[in-house]
Chains A and B, each alone.
Chain A
Amino acid sequence: MGLNLENAVPMRWPSGPLEIARRQKAEGFPPRVRQALERWHEPAALEILEDTPIDCLVFTWAAGLPADQEQWRTAAPLVEAARRRNLAVVGWVEDAADRGQALAAAKTAGLAAVAIHGFKGTADLPVVAWSQREDVPWDSGAPAVAIGGNVWPGVNITQGGGDANAGPTNLPWLDSNGWYIQMARARLRAPLWVAFDPPGKSAVFSAQSYANAIADSEVAGGRWLISLDDDFRSSLAEGAAPALQSWKRIAAAARFFRDHAAWKSYRSLGLVGVISDFTGPNFDLSGELLNLMARRDLLFRVIWKSQAAAQPFTGLKALLYADAAAPDSALRRKIAEFVEQGGLLVAGPEWGAQGKPAPPDFPTQFDVRSLGKGRLAVGREALSDPYQVAVDTQFLLSHRYDLVKIFNAPSSGCTRFTVPAPGGKALLQCVSYADGGRGGGGLRTIWIRDQFAKARLWSIGNDPVSVGAEPSEEYTGTDYHLPASAPRSYLALEFEV
């Protein structure tokens, strides 16, 4: 259909009678929120998009309620105003809606596309495939895939009884979608829209919190389907100055990543290749493994089992075969070759015993054996505790191979180290999830194993600056010293060979 959403910056645009009808079904619907939804249904509301990169409105379109028809009837002025602003309007169609009617109405109204939950098939309009994590249409030819079931990124202070230091790692527990997005991006061909709303009705979200939500998706290769909380939307609708100021900061974050879209095409530099079909019970383990490895800054590369035979394991030091069932014979042979050439395999007991015992110097759930030039670490029991598997994998691999060390950033995570296909550059991106600078505020030094000729620090809303580097005093590699004034919530170090 010719709709290109490759680098679109989408935003959920809840408004109008349908959105009001939906909210009225739920408890607590303050008049102020209702007024904001009414105002956002008026063309004038689009003024807030002036000077922002947002070019795609994902507009409440059909929910299977009587108000659907009224929504379609009253939407024309807003849709027309959006078209005049070169905004692509995508209609958001929920499960309960009559899809045929919704599609027909969308076409009549001149929408650019619709996003239909669970849609499989063909339509007269481009359809953004919208699903939950469990039922993603991986091979869809949709212009974009929107995936729900995500978390609001940040430090989770409720895990473990109100103590931010609640993670099994003794690090603050972080909620991030980065691991999932990396996994999904390794399989999807279409742009990935990461769908999640600010949680709760009473919480107040800062501009920084929104910027983190954008960065969390972007660093991993996705794009957040921007969604504002009720209070913020109401304040924007009222033209409140602080809200408008915050909105500028959020827009700046979105613009930054739109302008650096090429970074998403960079390839992950991972030490550990995680092989799984990432489906069903296997996903429970392999998904959480990715999450915990990301939290520990253990750089990984996602390898979908269906693609593993065709993918080179070049650059990897270890493979983690996470699935319960043994791989097929071809993949098993390929993995065994990787081990014999010096790699480490971490796998469950179904792999079986091979090689000579080579126990490590620390307690582990794995029997470790040498095979060829490499090692096999085979679980004594079925792999079940993702935290322990992640920890053991990291120590079996050894920190001696670390590519990156980030100091004084206990609330950072989702660190990605990537390179473009032509080479010549590398990019390290890091998000600090502590709202207001706490936790990541002390980040001043980043260590990189590789040598580069120069480095530039990118941050949102600022021009890039050169970063001083010194050979590490006590180890190989280079210390990069970040300026004291540099923002810490998100940063990218771009290296040139």
Chain B
Amino acid sequence: MGMNRREFVGGLGTAALAMVQPARLRASAPTAPVALARCKSYGPEFLAAAEKMFDQLGGIGRIVKGKTVTIKVNLTGGENTRLDYLPMGRACWSHPRTVGAVIHLLDKAGARRIRVVEGAWVWPAPLEEFMYKAGWDPNLLLGAAPRVELVNTNMPYKGAKPYTRFTVPRTGHLFPAYDLSTAYAESDVLVSMAKLKEHATAGVTLSIKNLFGITPTTIYGNKVPLDEPAPVPYGGRQEIGHNGSRQPPRSSPPEKDPTTPRQAGYRIPRIIADLSAAITPGLEIIEGIETIAGSELPRPGTTVAVSPGILLAGTNPVSTDAVAMAVMGFDPMAERGTAPFETCDNTLRLAEDLGVGTRDLSRIEVVGAAIKDVAFKFRDYGGPRQFQRPAGRRG
């Protein structure tokens, strides 16, 4: 299959550029230990395992004590989906009991205020309502500690300043800055609670890809006005995020270079790498107790439910995701064209280029279980992968 110039520039071309990246830049990328544990259930076992992992990381009190902590959970897709009979928490979302347990542990570690946030697709109402509609009981979260709030970061944040601009260090890959809910600006620590799973467009979706949902669909969603944010979301993130068929409203920074490939496999990794640099999580928790193999959402013929029984936690999102990739049977150093990045760029490399962290396993200390002891090869499960096809091949 041939590759045109645009695909070369967007894919292997940038991979080639990465090869000439100064070795010292990579070598200087920050690293942090990653805790790895086995966990087979969502009950007390999770609470104990998470607490032990946090201890292995040196305790989370040093990170969250006296702080406003924001937990970005993963509630991707619509609110009324299941994988067969499986609730989404046991398939491709954060599980509500893990969120409740983490809230409890953050409170125990001294967090001053805890917010659970998500930009739930096109949901135009409070996050509680999304949860009720999806079959969650938000009181499980709200009651897990005092001072817990739920915020739908798709909506204009209450108060005079609904959005705050977050600049991407080193000018970013795709956008120089992003306008996000002011809830993120009020946060001292961002916790990315992700699911261990693959992604049709980005290869894998872990703690960094989880950040894609922080972009408000009132600004980065389909059909938003040309000049200013929409009052409520009108659509998903395809136009501005995946396809680049238009720019955000003029009130927000446009792309640096609108001539770059209009291809999701080029764009999404760059957007999420940008976001990880603009608002870097201070704590990552990746849950793979039960999850799906094959994709990020239920896709007939591809997706199957799997039970790896794995947990990861870390304090550097690139390093945490690198270990997670290794656990999944992938090489975090893989470049475009190699699994799981068959049709996209490696987000971890792009984040590494922005100085977020290292993906070099030789520089990452893994504590708790060893990777080889818990490894779960995702590509051994599920049907043929349905990758995001490069732009221009649809005829």
| A contact set with B: CB distance below 8 Å | 170, 361-363, 391, 395, 398-400, 402, 405-410, 442, 444-445, 447, 472-476, 479, 481
Contact = CB atoms under 8 A, between A and B. Distances in A.
Contacts of B140: 474
B85 A402 contact: no
Given A363-B156, A407-B82, A475 B135 contact: yes
A479 B85 contact: yes
Interface stretch (B15-23, B120-128, B246-254, B281-289): B120-128
Given A170-B235, A362-B124, A408 B82 contact: yes
Nearest to B133: A399
B128 to A, nearest CB: 8
A474 B80 CA distance: 14
B133 A402 contact: yes
B135 A472 contact: yes
A407 B77 CA distance: 13
B137 interface: yes
Interface string B63-104: 000000000000000101110110101100000110000000
B84 A447 contact: no
B132 A445 contact: no
A169 to B, nearest CB: 9
B144 interface: no
A405 B82 CA distance: 11
B84 to A, nearest CB: 6
A473 B80 contact: no
Interface of B: 78, 80-82, 84-85, 87, 89-90, 96-97, 122, 124-126, 128-129, 132-133, 135-137, 140, 155-156, 158, 231-232, 235, 298, 300
Contacts of B82: 407-408, 444-445
B133 A474 contact: no
Contacts of B89: 473-474
A361 B152 CA distance: 10
A445 B89 CA distance: 15
B124 A399 contact: no
B155 A444 contact: no
A391 B231 CA distance: 14
Given A170-B235, A363-B231, A444-B82, A474 B135 contact: yes
Contacts of A473: 87, 89-90
Given A362-B126, A473-B90, 4 more contacts: A391-B125, A400-B128, A402-B132, A472-B135
Contacts of A363: 155-156, 231-232
Contact of B81 (A361, A399, A407): A407
A398 B126 CA distance: 10
B137 A476 contact: yes
A444 B231 CA distance: 35
B85 A481 contact: yes
B133 A405 contact: yes
A479 B122 CA distance: 26
A473 B140 CA distance: 12
A481 B87 CA distance: 12
Contacts of B129: 395, 398-399
Contact of A170 (B122, B125, B156): B122
B97 to A, nearest CB: 8
Contacts of B81: 407-408
Contact of A475 (B136, B158, B232, B235): B136
A447 B132 CA distance: 12
Nearest to A399: B132
A447 B135 contact: yes
A357 B197 CA distance: 46
Contact of A405 (B85, B126, B135, B155): B135
A475 B137 contact: yes
A86 B132 CA distance: 53
Contact of B85 (A361, A398, A444): A444
A212 to B, nearest CB: 21
Q: Choose among A405, A409, A474, A481 the residue with the greatest number of B CB atoms under 10 Å from its CB.
A: A474
B291 to A, nearest CB: 16
Contacts of B122: 170
B156 A474 contact: no
26 contacts: A170-B122, A362-B124, A362-B155, A363-B155, A363-B231, A363-B232, A391-B124, A395-B125, A398-B129, A398-B132, A399-B133, A400-B128, A400-B132, A405-B135, A406-B80, A407-B81, A409-B80, A444-B85, A445-B82, A447-B135, A472-B135, A473-B87, A473-B89, A474-B87, A474-B89, A475-B136
B229 to A, nearest CB: 12
B163 to A, nearest CB: 14
A474 B96 contact: yes
A466 to B, nearest CB: 16
Nearest to A484: B84
Contacts of B133: 399, 402, 405
B327 to A, nearest CB: 26
